[in-house]
Amino acid sequence: MIRPCEERSDDLKPNLPPLREVIAAHGLSASKALGQNFLLDEQLLARIAAIPGDLADRAVLEIGPGPGGLTRALLRAGARVTAVEMDRRCLPALAELAQAFPGKLRVIEGDALKIDHAALMGEPYAVVANLPYNVGTALFTGWLSGAAWPPAWTSLTLMFQQEVAQRIVAAPGSAAYGRLAVLAQWRARPRLAMKVHRSAFTPPPKVMSAVVHVEPAEMPAGVAARVLEKVTEAAFGQRRKMLRQSLKALPGAIAALDTLDIDSQRRAETLSVAEFVGIARVLTA
Ligand code: SAM
């Protein structure tokens, strides 16, 4: 039984049972299909919850709370948390956590890919999540796409497979640089905030993980997001080819290279994010 906040201990936080006990008490064996790799180290969870900065009274959207390890770290940091979880088995454990932090945790049962996050939150919010790997990239591209900018979210603090995290922060010229880097960097600032060893998870996944923190930046003027997405899709769709080949099918793209004095013999991976933005700006006009 979790003691609610009113019966708080001297550090003003409710005493919570160890996460292993919560998992055992509710029979939460990890489901591979749902991408369940749980974090149980409360110090590590507190460090992740600290990455977005002071969360006191801030609205936080967490995707996939599972047994609630990251959720309790966010609540202890003073956040008002909305947690979207698909696995019904986790709901009783999360209900206990909601009792321990009255009025601070709202749990939504559902698929985060099918929910309108901005409408659900109704106010600016930070996203903090140890994402299910099978849906992580789809959620991430969803948060970074779209015409409206700045977005409703104020920051994204997300656990990814390390290889995906590296693709998000990659610089031109590296093997990891591609569409994901341009999408993440053209109007936002991503940074690799923390590497997490696979042994920190229960069960451990096959690969290492890393937390990426993203904050929105100013959107370059005169560029339609949809156009930039088309340019990067074409350019990196054939990343080994020269631009004059890979961009051939995109009307006006080769002329845009001329206008911008970009050598059409270069390959996509050598172009800076600013150069992609430049091409998209000419095409948008
Ligand atoms: N946050 C917990 C932690 O850090 O220990 C669990 C993280 S686990 C990697 C991913 C969680 O996302 C699981 O609880 C899983 O049930 C949930 N999940 C998977 N797909 C989901 C989806 N489409 N929408 C919402 N939750 C989902």
pLDDT per position as a tens digit, 62-114: 999 999 999 999 999 999 999 999 999 999 999 999 999 999 999 999 999 99
From 179, 60, 48, 168, select the one nearest 120 (Cα to Cα).
60
* Cα of 247 from ligand 1 centre, angstroms: 38
pLDDT for 178: 97
Ordered domains of the chain (ranges, CATH):
19-216 (3.40.50.150), 225-284 (1.10.8.100)
What are the pLDDT digits (tens) for 123-136? 999 999 998 877 99
Q: Atom 18 in ligand 1: which residue has the minimum CA distance?
A: 64
Q: Atom 17 in ligand 1: which residue has the minimum CA distance?
A: 64
What are the pLDDT digits (tens) for 164-175? 999 999 999 999
Nearest atom within ligand 1 for CA of residue 31: 16
Contact 212, 193 (CB under 8 A): yes
What are the pLDDT digits (tens) for 17-31? 999 999 999 999 989
Is residue 84 in contact with ligand 1, taking CB distance under 6 Å?
yes
Rounded CA gap, 224 and 244, in Å? 22
Q: Atom 19 in ligand 1: which residue has the minimum CA distance?
A: 34
Is residue 95 in contact with ligand 1, taking CB distance under 6 Å?
no
The per-residue pLDDT of the chain, averaged, comes to 94
Q: Atom 23 in ligand 1: which residue has the minimum CA distance?
A: 111
pLDDT for 136: 92
> Which residues have C-beta within 8 Å of that of residue 199, sequence separation ≥ 6?
none
* Cα of 34 from ligand 1 centre, angstroms: 7
Confidence of residue 10 (pLDDT cuts 50, 70, 90): very low
Neighbours of 218 (CB within 10 A): 9
> What is the token pair recorded at 92?
């009783």
